[in-house]
Amino acid sequence: MTDTPWLVVGLGNPGSKYAGNRHNVGQMVLDLLAERAGARFARHPRAQAAVAEARLGVLPGGAPGPRVVLAKPSTYMNVSGGPVSGLARYYGIDADHVLVVHDEVDIPFDTIKLKTGGGEGGHNGLRDITKALGTKDYVRVRVGVGRPPGRMDTADHVLKDFSATERKDLPILVDDAADAVEMVLVEGLLAAQGRFHSKV
């Protein structure tokens, strides 16, 4: 295994107003990953993001896992691409070592799926990252938040906090998503897909 670092990005909107929104579940996962690694986020001098450098997971034999740059863009979701591409350039990280954790309305709450490439499913944060990186070929950890009820607009749905019922299971969902990130980094995408897709 090379020691090329990974750029692990959690998507969301800045500020306490949005912190509990479904749209911010990616940043919730990044907070847990930083906690696991004993790392603290700090404002990056060259990009609009809070970053923390660490190692995640444990390699076979007990060695520390891969080097990672954990990043939470401080821009609004729809313009996440600038911070992501800026950090990738700053740290010399190619798109195949960029992993984005984000909310996904097309899969049920309490479900995690993983993929590389493909469409953005109407997710404006992903669309902007794809445009900025010039490729769709980065890893996505898709955290299910479910479809909006009734005729509610999708944008309204993702900009609302999780329901009281969902909040009971949210820590488990965030923990599972953090596990998925670590598994991708340590064991590879196929192994992680095998574990998490089989749970659906």
So which residues are the catalytic ones? Answer: 23
36-45: burial string, b at 16+ Cβ within 10 Å, e else: bbebebeebe
Answer for the pair 60, 80: CB distance below 8 angstroms, yes or no. Answer: no
Q: What is the DSSP string of 146-177?
A: -PPSTT--HHHHHTSBPPHHHHHHHHHHHHHH
172-186: burial string, b at 16+ Cβ within 10 Å, e else: ebbebbbbbbbbbbb
Residue of 98, 78, 84 lying closest to 5 (CA atoms): 98
SS3 content of the chain, % helix, strand, coil (to 5): 40, 20, 40
CA distance 63 to 59: 5
Answer for the pair 79, 18: CB distance below 8 angstroms, yes or no. Answer: no
